[in-house]
Structure formats: C-alpha cells, structure tokens
Amino acid sequence: MAKKAAEAKQQKGSDSAEAPAQEAVQVEGLQFDIPWEQLMDDERFVEVFLSDVLENYVVQQRWYGGKSSTMKYIELQEYFRIQHNEEVYYGLLLEVNFEEAFYQHYFLPIAFVSDESFAERDRILPLAIRGQEGFIIDAVNLEAFRRLVYERILMAEPNDTTRVRYHKSTEFRGTPYESSKFMGLEQSNTSIIINGKSVIKFFRRIYADKNPDYEMSRFLSERKGYKNTPAYQGSLSIMDTDNVNVTIALMQELVPNQGDAWDYMLKELHKIFCNLEYKGIRVDRLPKLELFQRINSRQVPPEIIDWAGLGVFLKLQKLAQRTAEMHIALGSEFEDTAFTPTRFNGDYEVWLKNRLLYMFQNRLNMVENNLGRLEGQALELANEFLERKNEIRKRFVNFDWTKLKGERLRVHGDYHLGQILVQGDDFFLLDFEGEPESTIRDRKVKQPPLKDIAGIFRSFHYAVYATIFDNPGKYPYPQDELFAAGELLYRYFVGVFLDTYVQMIQDHNINIGYSAERIFLLKYCMLEKAVYELGYEMNSRPDWAVIPLEGIRSIIND
Ligand SMILES: Nc1ncnc2c1ncn2[C@@H]1O[C@H](COP(=O)(O)OP(=O)(O)O)[C@@H](O)[C@H]1O
Ligand SMILES: O=P(O)(O)O[C@H]1O[C@H](CO)[C@@H](O[C@H]2O[C@H](CO)[C@@H](O)[C@H](O)[C@H]2O)[C@H](O)[C@H]1O
C-alpha cells in the first residue's frame, strides 16, 4: 500500500482469516530505500522475498495444494498492481516448481502495513521501507484492500481493456461498500462476503486461462438467466505476458441457505437408518428396484415410503429438476463455441481413454504402495481392486464413440452433494471449477451431461456408506444388513432422480442418447468417478478410501 494510503486507510478487517497466527520469517535488517510502489521492481528484494520468505510461507497455507509433493523453488511468474489512485497493492502470481517435474501457479495479493495490529494474521515479512518499519501481509486480511477490489468492480468500465481488468455484470445493481468479512468456511480458495450480499472468491490456485467457475457462472446466470446458481456480479482478471486472460477473482450473489445438500442428506439418512429399528423394518422383505430403473415418487412402494418418508424423494425430484435445468441452459447455446453442444468423435474417445487409463494406473500404484496401511474391510476391498484390475481396465477401453448418438456439453464437472446449497425446499448449484486434479484444458472439454448425473449418484452412494461408517453401533443391525438396506434405498434415490431428470431433458430436446446408451454412459462415468475418488481419498482422507473401493466393487458387480 502506498505510504499515504497505508496510514490513512489502515482499518482492521472486521474479522481475521481462519489460518492460525504464524510468525513471519525473520530476515535480518531488511531495509529498502525505495517506495512501496517500486519495491517489486527491485531485484534484490524479489530474490530474498521469493527464496528466503515465500518458500516457507506458502507451504503453510491452507490453500497450498502441493503438500504431497516436494517444492524445488518458487519463481515470480507475473506481478501486477491492484490499485486505485494512490492506494497500491501487488498481486503476485507465483510459480511453484516441484522435484517431481511439474509446477503450479498461485495468487498472493500483498500489502505493506506499518501498524503491527494489522499484521496479526498472514504476516509474511517484517521490513523497513524508507525508514518506515512495518510488515508485508496477505492483503485479503485488510479491509481497505477488500473494499478497493469491490469498488473497482462496481465502477468497472463496460469494456475494460487494461492489463488488470475489472468486470461488472450488466445485471448487477451494486450498493456502496459497507462491510466485509471472511466467509470462514473450509475451502481451497479465499472467499470474502461484502455487505452481507456478495461473495468475492479470490482464486488461489491459478490457471493460465479463464477459470471455468467464472465462465460457467457468467454464462449460466448472465447469458441464460439460470436462477439456481448464485448470480454472477463481476470479476477481476489479468492479461498475462502471453496475452491470455487469467481469472483472479469472481464476485457472485450471496445465497442465504441452510447448509449444503451433503449435510442435509446425512441427516436424512441418519433418520432413515434409525427408522429401521423404530419401525421394525425387515430389510429382506423390502421391495427391490433395479439400478437405473426410473420411478416416479408417486410409484415408490408404500413399504419404502413408510420406512424413508416421502419428503426425501420430493427433495430429490426438485434437485433433479434444477440439475436438468442447468443442463438445458448449457445445452441451448448455438453461437458461443465454448458452449455449443457437439457429438462424440474419435478424438474424444482417444482423449478419454488415455486420461482414464493414466488415472487408473496412478490409483493402482497408490493402492499397491499403501496396502500395508490398510486393514479389515478396506484391505479386503483393496486386494479385490488389484485382483480385478484387468476387468476394470477393459471397462475403460470399452468405449466406442460410433455407437453413441447423444451430445456432449460443457458440464459442471465435479458435481456432488457438497456443491449444492439448500434454501428452503430449493437448491442452488455452486463451484463450477471442475475436478481439482484435471488440467484446465481437460476441464473445458465437452462431456456427456450424464457425467454430472454419475457424480451425484456417486454422492448418494457415498452418503449412504458415510452414514453407516460414521454411526457405529447406532443402528442395531449387522453391517451386512445395513449395507443391503442402504444399497436398496440408493436404487430408489437413483430411480426417482433419473425419472424427473430424463423427462425434463427430453422435453427440452437435449439429446443424452437412447436408453441403453444412457445406462452405458452412467456406468462408465460412475466407474471413472469412483476411481477418481479413490485417489482423492488416499491423498486427503485415507480412512474414507473404503467408500470408493466399495463403490468400484458395486459398479463392476452390477
Ligand atoms: N454465493 C454463495 N452464497 C452462499 N454460500 C456460498 C456461496 N459461494 C460459496 N458459498 C459457500 O462457501 C463454500 C465454499 O465455496 P466454493 O465456491 O466451493 O469454494 P472453493 O472453490 O474454494 O472450495 C460452499 O460450499 C458454500 O457453503
Ligand atoms: O468440493 P471439491 O471441488 O473440493 O471436491 C473434492 O472434494 C470432495 C470432498 O469434499 C470430493 O467429493 C467426494 O466426497 C464427497 C463427500 O465428502 C462425496 O459427496 C462425493 O461424491 C465424493 O466425490 C470430490 O470428489 C473432490 O473433487
């Protein structure tokens, strides 16, 4: 921040970041006789800052995604000014290089503050600038910075062609800045709530392109008027040195909500499993439904309604409707080639198989290397996964585009219950960034919309097993019987969702293929998703690896 602005504008943020206070790295006697506005042009400063300071700072951050690899060094890929009049902050794009021969880019906005009380959190470096002692901190902690970004979006020119670009949606009627605070939820980026009405998400992991979350949010809400995603309000992006538009931040409407659909589903399932004992349900006598058999909520047998209640099925119908409407909006574009629907072809088939075989090999390797850490049911399932590897591989290879008549669209890409907000009886769909493991180019490839449906079905399956595993001893039935009850209920969830979804999609002429094609694609994409999840769990929550392993078994046995 410019000295003048630093003194005039230092207001403490209305709260602090969720990260614990960290000691800034001490680099003895760092003094610079140049103004803050020129500091990043100083080679000596940049060298010390990157290697002695940021290497230590970055690895401790919640948003740093390279924790399972070994950092080699950090380079400054780009820096730019986030500025209004005299008030200057720097946006840094850091390139983190790894021993394992890959790199990642991260966004870090920085500010200089002279008052120590503004540097309680995310303090990066103490230093003196022209005799003024102070600290470099992560600028998101400063209310003045958050206010500046909001106001720059609010006053953005319709066609900003400068290097640092602010954009305001034509639909957004902003109100003057009043307050801001951290969203304070577990997340991989950093979201700030402004005026209790808007959310600015600063992306931390940066890709040299428009972020799909920005692209999809703007397309769905601004261009297609899709109401069940937070309205796009604005964004911040930069033109990098290769003239590529790189998204830095996305501003959307704050959607009042009662939590996400994952928590909603866990609560419902807990009640349903409690009902087994409470209502004296004989699981072996419950009527069964075949996987993917469509069923309307009014046709669900009374024994199932008596056990699970009608409410959960009505909610699933609503969720299916909102999901179908999202795909209808995504499938109805005929001008913007980033969104126009397209057919399956040979290139897609080669891309898909290569990607999936590579991912599968990675999972086999992970499981083989970690067998010693597994026990009980997880070990048994892991061994079965390894033994049946050729069978699984064959399933991935068995994709023949010439047999497919449906279309591919831009899709959500990482659709699961945790990406959905519950608002009364309705749902809002969030976070279109795609699967964190995929490259930015892969995330933009048009996919069968049934990939999202497979994602949400995997999430239903996850929720069933998570409920059983998280509540040991609470339901007085043998585990096998609980699994049988859960698998049976899961098929009704799938059947009810699918019935509404397919009906709506077809009524709007979105071509998701003929009936056998739909079942083939669902099975294919569910296997892909479960194998993806196995890697996600082995990396982040190894105790949960048993859930995708169980999922893989259930898909290949079906
Ligand atoms: N516009 C919004 N309105 C209300 N809550 C939101 C909004 N955007 C995000 N959230 C909440 O913040 C959480 C994290 O948001 P998300 O976009 O998924 O962040 P990340 O990409 O960093 O994981 C969501 O699960 C949701 O609970
Ligand atoms: O929300 P993210 O984009 O970070 O998605 C990642 O994390 C998800 C977990 O939070 C993970 O989802 C998996 O676990 C969910 C339960 O926690 C379950 O509902 C999903 O079906 C399952 O895939 C997601 O895969 C990962 O990309």
Ligand of minimum distance to the alpha carbon of 465: 2
Q: How far is the CA of 308 from the centre of ligand 2 (A)?
A: 25
Question: Which residue has the CA at smallest separation from atom 19 of ligand 2?
Answer: 459
- Terminal CA-to-CA distance of the chain, rounded, Å? 61
**Is residue 217 situated within a structural domain?**
no
How distant is the alpha carbon of residue 462 from its chain centre?
Answer: 17
pLDDT at 16: 40
Residues 6 or more apart whose CB falls under 8 angstroms from that of 398 comprise: none
**Is residue 171 situated within a structural domain?**
no
- To test the pocket of ligand 1, the residue of 169, 187, 228 to mutate (highest count of ligand atoms within 8 Å of its CB) is 187
Q: Which domain holds residue 306?
A: 271-330+364-409+446-557
Tell me which amino acid residue 126 is: P
Q: What are phi and psi of 80, to 5 degrees?
A: -150, 165
Which of 10, 94, 89 is CA-nearest to residue 54? 94
Q: What are phi and psi of 366, to 5 degrees?
A: -60, -45
Which of 418, 377, 383, 419 is CA-nearest to residue 547? 377
- Residue 236 is encoded by which pair of tokens? 């911040």
**DSSP 8-state secondary structure symbol assigned to residue 219:** I
Give pTM, 2 decimals.
0.92
**Is residue 305 situated within a structural domain?**
yes
**Is residue 233 situated within a structural domain?**
no
pLDDT in tens, the chain (558 residues): 233 333 333 333 334 444 444 555 555 568 888 999 999 999 989 998 888 899 999 999 989 988 889 999 999 999 999 999 989 999 999 999 999 999 999 999 999 999 888 878 888 999 999 999 999 999 999 999 999 999 999 999 888 788 999 999 999 999 999 999 999 888 889 999 999 999 999 999 999 999 999 999 999 999 999 999 999 999 999 998 888 999 999 999 999 999 999 999 999 999 999 999 999 999 999 999 999 999 999 999 999 999 999 999 999 999 999 999 999 999 999 999 999 999 999 999 999 999 999 999 999 999 999 998 888 899 999 999 999 999 999 999 999 999 999 999 999 999 999 999 999 999 999 999 999 889 999 999 999 999 999 999 999 999 999 999 999 999 999 999 999 999 999 999 999 999 999 999 999 999 999 999 999 999 999 999 999 999 989 888 888 999 999 999 999 997
Residues 6 or more apart whose CB falls under 8 angstroms from that of 283 comprise: 276, 477, 481, 484, 485, 488
Which of 163, 135, 118, 92 is CA-nearest to residue 14? 118
Tell me which amino acid residue 195 is: N
Nearest atom in ligand 2 to 437's CA: 27
pLDDT at 115: 86
* CATH number, domain containing residue 297: 3.90.1200.10
- CA-to-CA separations, 300 to 105, 125, 297, 308, 496, in angstroms, rounded: 50, 62, 5, 11, 8
Distance CA 14, CA 541 (A): 33
Pairing mode, strands 103-113 and 205-206: antiparallel
**Which element (helix H / strand E) includes 468?**
helix 450-470
Distance CA 370, CA 362 (A): 12
Q: How far is the CA of 418 from the centre of ligand 1 (A)?
A: 9
pLDDT at 276: 97
pLDDT at 496: 98
- CA-to-CA separations, 139 to 124, 135, 222, 295, in angstroms, rounded: 10, 11, 30, 52
**Is residue 467 situated within a structural domain?**
yes
Question: Which residue has the CA at smallest separation from atom 9 of ligand 1?
Answer: 430
252 close to ligand 1 (CB < 6 Angstrom): yes
Nearest atom in ligand 2 to 188's CA: 4
- To test the pocket of ligand 1, the residue of 172, 421, 430, 443 to mutate (highest count of ligand atoms within 8 Å of its CB) is 430
Identify whether the C-beta of residue 10 lies closer than 8 Å to the C-beta of residue 115. yes
185 close to ligand 1 (CB < 6 Angstrom): yes
Identify whether the C-beta of residue 382 lies closer than 8 Å to the C-beta of residue 374. yes
Ligand of minimum distance to the alpha carbon of 213: 1
Question: Which residue has the CA at smallest separation from atom 7 of ligand 2?
Answer: 536
pLDDT at 241: 84
**Is residue 301 situated within a structural domain?**
yes
Q: Which residue is it, tokens 């075949």? A: 290
Q: Are residue 384 and residue 533 in the same domain, yes or no?
A: yes
Residues 6 or more apart whose CB falls under 8 angstroms from that of 3 comprise: 35, 36, 114, 129, 130, 132
Torsion of CA 338, 339, 342, 348, to 10 degrees: 50
Q: How far is the CA of 418 from the centre of ligand 2 (A)?
A: 7
Identify whether the C-beta of residue 345 lies closer than 8 Å to the C-beta of residue 335. no
pLDDT at 436: 86
| End residue of a domain, out of 112, 140, 168 | 140
What is the number of domains present in the chain? 2
128 DSSP β-pair partners? 31, 133
**Is residue 131 situated within a structural domain?**
yes
pLDDT at 407: 97
Distance CA 467, CA 460 (A): 11
Nearest atom in ligand 1 to 203's CA: 22
Ligand of minimum distance to the alpha carbon of 185: 1
Which of 502, 500, 544 is CA-nearest to residue 406? 502
Distance CA 165, CA 156 (A): 8
Question: Which residue has the CA at smallest separation from atom 10 of ligand 2?
Answer: 418
Q: How far is the CA of 224 from the centre of ligand 1 (A)?
A: 21
| End residue of a domain, out of 120, 140, 160 | 140
Largest CA distance in the chain: 82
Q: Are residue 133 and residue 276 in the same domain, yes or no?
A: no
Question: Which residue has the CA at smallest separation from atom 25 of ligand 2?
Answer: 533
Question: Which residue has the CA at smallest separation from atom 8 of ligand 2?
Answer: 418
- Residue 387 is encoded by which pair of tokens? 């033994």
430 close to ligand 1 (CB < 6 Angstrom): yes
Nearest atom in ligand 1 to 255's CA: 3
Query: Which residues sit with their C-beta closer than 6 Å to ligand 2?
Result: 188, 262, 414, 416-419, 431, 435-436, 458-459, 462, 533, 536
Ligand of minimum distance to the alpha carbon of 526: 2
189 close to ligand 1 (CB < 6 Angstrom): yes
| End residue of a domain, out of 90, 119, 140 | 140
Q: How far is the CA of 169 from the centre of ligand 1 (A)?
A: 20
- Residue 17 is encoded by which pair of tokens? 């970041």
Q: How far is the CA of 525 from the centre of ligand 2 (A)?
A: 15
Question: Which residue has the CA at smallest separation from atom 25 of ligand 1?
Answer: 419
431 close to ligand 1 (CB < 6 Angstrom): yes
Identify whether the C-beta of residue 372 lies closer than 8 Å to the C-beta of residue 306. no
Question: Which residue has the CA at smallest separation from atom 2 of ligand 1?
Answer: 254
Nearest atom in ligand 1 to 188's CA: 22
**Is residue 251 situated within a structural domain?**
no
62 close to ligand 1 (CB < 6 Angstrom): no
Q: What are phi and psi of 168, to 5 degrees?
A: -120, 135
Q: How far is the CA of 130 from the centre of ligand 2 (A)?
A: 48
